[in-house]
Chain A
Amino acid sequence: MVGLNKYWPAMVFPALILVAGIYIFPAIQTLLFSFGRVDVVTFSVSHYVGLDNYVRAFQDPRFLDATLRTLYFGVVTVGMGILISFPIAVLLTHKFVGRSIVRVSVLLPWAVPQVVAGVMWEQMFHAEIGMVNSILRHLGIISRNVIWLGDATLALHVVMLAVVWRIIPFITLFLLAALQTIPHQLYEAADIDGANGWRRFRFITLPLTMPVLIPTALIQFVWTLKVFGEIFVLTGGGPSWGTTTLNYLVYRESFEFFRLDRGSAIAYVLLLLTLFVVLLGALARRFVSVDRTARRQRV
């Protein structure tokens, strides 16, 4: 719109100022906190201590455990999410009666608030009233109730399951969108060549969904780094820090113990981890799209 061109600052800046005010300035403040001692009463930096908060964090086994746990949490959750979503997406490419019911049931968990998801899974895995114990008991798999949330390893996996459930919609939608762009002729040609199901998947479906799958997986990984509500409700980070991810550790340091300086330092480590994954995504994207263009040219 030529006539409007001169107004662009008035249209763009309000949004940018809001975003900068709530994202950028606080991020700088957090950085300052991470290099100082933050007074618990005034919440201001009393003096700067350089990298001391970072050094302390790296000397703290809780931090190191939380870092490894976060990576495990993210990788396994996203991996499981993809493994479950892929067949659902393939199913949704077929036409059948009730497909829209399947689609909306798969979409619904996306809208569920993390806290509500936490309550749902807490009730599912509740030691006494939980449906999971009840079903396992009736199938004769267990004879006594399992206290799922009382054991650190079990609890961590219950939280992961809750998150898998909530990320399936997003992954499925993106995979479905990718699957729908695959030309039918490719499969028909594969049929003529006598390719079986696995080979069709390996040589047509998988490579052609990769350009969507990789960024989706990385976005989901970044999201699982931020999981908060499920952990808060299901375990509160326990038992004995066993389900505390980096994000949750920042919360506990900052708002349970009010060590804003330590919390800020860990938040920055989490930020670096996030940026690393985002960067990886950007690289993968370039790599994959170049690969695709090359293939198109060959054809």
Chain B
Amino acid sequence: MSSHRLVRRVMTVGKYLAAITVVVVMLFPIYNIFLTSVQRQADVRGRDLNLFPTYIILDHYQEVMRPGHIVPIVEATRNSFILSVSASLLSMALAAMAAYAITRLKFRGKQGILMGLTAVYMLPAILFVIPLFVWVVQLDIVDTFISLIVPYAAFMTPFMIWILKSFFEKVPADLEAAACIDGCCLRKLIFRVLLPLSIPGLVATFIFGFILSWNEFLTPLVFTSADFPILTVALGLYKGTVDIQIGQQAAAAFLALLPVILLTLVFQRMIIGGLLAGSEK
């Protein structure tokens, strides 16, 4: 074998070793809580290194989902789901209109608006959470959906405008112009031309919005009490309770993780494209 071919072989082997290392290291923390969530506590606490399960039990999941459990998983999941869907829809609707106007219409101050949106998106949320908390208390809307949907939607709107803008820029303006020349009225323009063409952008935005809302922690932690459980908050506060069950904590964490993992797996290309589009400016 020539030395050149040998070098190539070594490179190939190195490449696969590197690839396997990356996959193992990146996925290990996720695998680890999954493992803990399907093992008996005694085996997790044992002195032996158990990297691979010899059995799988679902007791921790059953236990943590039992009504009256200190982590109200079922109720919290429902609340988080309603919140994430409503906040994403609200933000998507507003961001779509704004992004379309910014992409296609002529008016002054566009650059200013875009720069302002980018700037506020970078700011730490805690700055807004302090007075918002005060207003939520004063308006007596603690533990309501509205007290969370509005801030969630506002927090992600700048990002959504950026993503949608990049999608609208790819839709040829000629198509719309053609529709107009044909004497197509505004409603037809919107429902026959604009909406069908923007569906990929809207889906991507919705997925992003859902994941961002689902993962939100600081805002619901401050704005809600135990009477209105939110999944991330319930999980975050579980640690503070006495006699924590490590398997159940892992099960709860895995349940909180599952929806966003599935969305990421299914929409990975869309997410990668959106991330690159949403922040490259």
A interface residues, Cβ below 8 angstroms from B: 1-5, 7-8, 10-12, 14-16, 18-19, 21-27, 29-30, 33, 43-44, 87-88, 91, 94, 96, 98-99, 101-124, 126, 128-129, 131, 134-135, 137-138, 165, 168, 170, 173-174, 177, 219, 222, 225-226, 228-229, 232-233, 247, 250-251, 254-255, 260, 263-264, 267-268, 270-271, 274-275, 278
Bound-state Cα–Cα, A91 to B20, Å: 11
The 9 A-B pairs at the shortest CB distance, nearest first, are namely: A22-B154, A29-B131, A113-B215, A15-B98, A11-B101, A11-B97, A15-B94, A26-B131, A26-B128
B192 within 8 A of A: no
Given A2-B180, A115-B235, list of 9 further CB < 8 A pairs? A11-B105, A12-B98, A14-B94, A102-B23, A115-B236, A174-B280, A232-B236, A233-B239, A274-B123
Tell me which residues across on chain A come within 8 A of B197, comparing CB atoms.
Answer: none
Kindly provide the distance from the CB of A224 to the nearest chain B CB, expressed in whole angstroms: 11
For A233, the chain B residues whose CB sits under 8 A away are 236, 239
Q: B257–A112 contact, CB under 8 A?
A: yes
Question: Which single member of B125, B132, B260 contacts A113 (CB below 8 Å)?
Answer: B260
Which chain B residues lie closer than 8 Å to A26 at the CB level?
Answer: 127-132, 135
With A22-B132, A33-B130 already in contact, the answer to whether A116 and B137 are too (CB < 8 A) is no
B270, chain A: closest CB distance, angstroms:
11
Residues of B within 8 A of A222 (CB): 122
B30 an interface residue at 8 Å Cβ cutoff? yes
Q: On chain B, which size bracket covers the interface?
A: 35 or more
Q: Can you list 29 A-B pairs, Cβ within 8 angstroms, ordered by A? A: A3-B180, A8-B101, A11-B105, A12-B97, A14-B98, A15-B95, A18-B94, A19-B117, A23-B120, A23-B128, A43-B137, A87-B18, A96-B16, A101-B23, A102-B19, A103-B268, A105-B23, A107-B272, A108-B264, A110-B271, A110-B275, A123-B33, A123-B249, A173-B275, A226-B126, A247-B126, A250-B126, A270-B127, A278-B122
- Name the distance in Å between B194's Cβ and chain A's nearest Cβ: 9
Q: Which residue of A lies closest to B120 (CB)?
A: A23
Chain A residues, CB < 8 A from B235 = 115-116, 119
Q: How far is the CB of A75 from chain B (nearest CB, A)?
A: 17
**In the bound complex, what is the Cα–Cα distance between A251 and B94 (angstroms)?**
30
Chain A residue with the shortest CB-CB distance to B259: A111
Contacting residues, chain B, for A226 (C-beta < 8 A): 124-126
Q: Are B176 and A1 touching (Cβ within 8 A)?
A: yes
Chain B nearest CB: distance from A34 CB in Å?
9
The chain B residue sitting closest to A27, CB to CB, is B127
Kindly list chain B residues whose C-beta atoms are within 8 Å of the C-beta of A106: 22, 26
Per-residue CB proximity of B63-74 to A under 8 Å, as 1/0?
A: 000000000000
Contact B15 A108 (CB under 8 A): no
Select from chain B the residue with minimum beta-carbon distance to A87: B18
Chain A residues near B221 (CB, 8 Å)?
A: 232
Cβ–Cβ contact B153 & A18, under 8 A = yes
A-chain residues with CB within 8 Å of residue B268 when the two chains form the complex = 103-104, 107
In chain B, residues 205-256, which have Cβ atoms closer than 8 Å to a Cβ of chain A? 211, 214-215, 217-218, 221-222, 232-233, 235-236, 239, 246, 249-250, 253, 256
Cα distance A112–B271 when bound, in Å?
14
What's the least CB distance linking B101 to chain A, in Å?
4
CB pair A18–B154 under 8 Å, yes or no, is yes
Name the interface residues of B7-32: CB closer than 8 Å to any CB of A.
12, 15-16, 18-19, 22-23, 26-30, 32
**B45 interface residue per 8 A CB criterion:** yes
Smallest Cβ distance from A136 to chain B, in angstroms?
A: 10
- With A8-B105, A233-B236 in contact, do A267 and B276 touch (Cβ < 8 Å)? no
Judging by beta carbons under 8 Å apart, are B22 and A102 in contact?
yes
Q: Nearest CB to that of A130 among chain B residues?
A: B32
Q: What's the minimum C-beta distance from A31 to chain B, rounded to whole angstroms?
A: 9
What is the minimal beta-carbon distance from B113 to any residue of chain A, in angstroms?
7
Indicate if B102 sits at the interface (CB-CB under 8 A): yes
Contact between chains at B105 and A1 (CB < 8 Å): yes
Please indicate the chain A residues that have their CB under 8 angstroms from the CB of B125 in the complex. 226
B276/A247 in contact, CB under 8 A: no
Residues of A within 8 A of B128 (CB): 22-23, 26-27, 30
Kindly state the separation between the CA atoms of A1 and B246 in the bound complex, as whole angstroms.
Answer: 58
CB distance from B28 to the nearest CB of A (A): 8
* Contact status A114-B107, CB under 8 Å: no
Flag if A22 contacts B134 (CB, 8 Å).
Answer: no
Q: Does B33 contact A11, Cβ atoms closer than 8 Å?
A: no
Given the interface contacts A8-B107, A222-B122, does A165 sit within 8 Å of B127 by beta carbon? Answer: no
A251 and B49 contacting across the interface, CB-CB below 8 Å = no
Contacts of A5 on B, CB cut-off 8 Å?
A: 105-107
Residues of B within 8 Å of A134, CB to CB, are 49
